[in-house]
Amino acid sequence: MPYLFTSESVSEGHPDKVADQISDALIDHFLAFDPQSKVACETLVTTGQVVLAGEVKSKAYLDVQDIARSVIRRIGYTKSEYMFEANSCGIFSAIHEQSSDINQGVDKKKKEEQGAGDQGMMFGYASNETEDYMPLALDLAHKILLELAALRRENKQIKYLRPDAKSQVTLEYDDNNKPVRIDAIVVSTQHDDFDTEAKMQAKIKKDIIEILIPRVKAKYKKYARLFNDQIKYHINPTGKFVIGGPHGDTGLTGRKIIVDTYGGKGAHGGGAFSGKDPSKVDRSAAYATRHIAKNLVAAGVADEVLVQVSYAIGVAQPTSINVNTFGTAKVKLSDGQIAKKVMDLFDMRPYFIETRLKLRNPIYSETAAYGHMGRQPQVIEKTFVSPDGKEVKRKVELFTWEKLDYVPKVKKAFGLK
């Protein structure tokens, strides 16, 4: 029987994402100057105020205020009327040294025996629903906001946009579990004040449907077939959205974990990513399981794969690895047998995850908005400057967990051509 499925995304200007981006900028700076840094930092943003808190073990000294302000400025909070502005907001830091009780479980004499930074379970998911092996509804929700942000920065076709925004896409699936059309699109965008609310609502709805949506269809042609004349559009459904960002709603690191991962498809272990160095398996093992799931699907093992891994704090070997193919496996093996082969192919001890995916590099700022998964791997050069003027240039590889580098090994292990 046909059914509907919905995913949402939020923009880089959403208060929770502002917090995520500040936390990950701190991670990047610590790792740039000391790759062995252990960091868990949280950010709170509200009207005119940023609060930084967390635990750090690092040789690096940073100007955390300057880093936070540069992130806020880049996002676009640069006007006093936003009530949260890069140059004038207060920044309070309560970052302190990491607990030695936790550190002794992570650092070991042999680096290969590095323990997990915490207990818990992590999930990775992939399906062949899209070219980047991501759930389609979430992919579309991200793309809508990426184009909205581009329109805001261009400031030509739409000139009233402010940084905060949310999107939501509802898809209709057929009896064969295939998406056939978009049923509904929700876009809520912060905006400058208008003369009248009626004029405002009419203008914003017209611009979203006639400017934004055609840009999405043109740029992502593979999705154009899903758009139709019967789509139900809900554009700024509450009406006025002038007050937004951290002034409209307090933001916290780690509150958008479903936006960060699979939009409600698959599963989530509950741990946030941003603000955590890769010794925290909440982050590194979630990336590693995505890497596994994507390579399994790309190799043809199954059309859809969910991988779960779990850890005990301070222990290197996972306590379990589970694979679920949802009945879509293309090989004559049970999910348990597939999981056994996965264990042989991918070393899931924290040190080996960090090494395999090159996670002790300053690569995290780019993950903190528009999803950690489904992104394009690329090599870029980044520059970091310390408070004493020391400059570090680092060539880094982003989104290594999205590479299909294990497809040949997977095919060989499973006897696939």
Q: Which residues are annotated as a binding site?
A: 14, 16, 42, 55, 98, 164-166, 240-241, 249, 255-256, 272, 276, 280
Q: Which residue type does 154 have?
A: E
Pairing of strands 320-324, 49-57: unpaired
H helices then E strands: how many in the chain? Answer: 12, 13
Q: Summarize the annotated binding site for Mg(2+) as residue ranges.
A: 16
What is d(CA 301, CA 185) in angstroms, rounded to the nearest whole number? 33
Q: Summarize the annotated binding site for ATP as residue ranges.
A: 14, 164-166, 240-241, 249, 255-256, 272, 276
What would the two tokens of residue 74 be? 């880049």
Residues 12 and 21 sit within 8 Å (Cβ to Cβ): yes
Q: Summarize the annotated binding site for K(+) as residue ranges.
A: 42
DSSP 335: H
SS3 for 146? helix
Q: Summarize the annotated binding site for L-methionine as residue ranges.
A: 55, 98, 249, 280
What would the two tokens of residue 216 be? 């999405």
- Cβ-proximal residues to 143 (8 Å cutoff; 6+ apart), any chain: 216, 219, 220, 223
Half-sphere exposure of 247 (CA within 13 A, CB side): 19
What is d(CA 51, CA 95) in angstroms, rounded to the nearest whole number? 10
Dihedral of the alpha carbons of 208, 210, 212, 213, in degrees to the nearest 10: 100
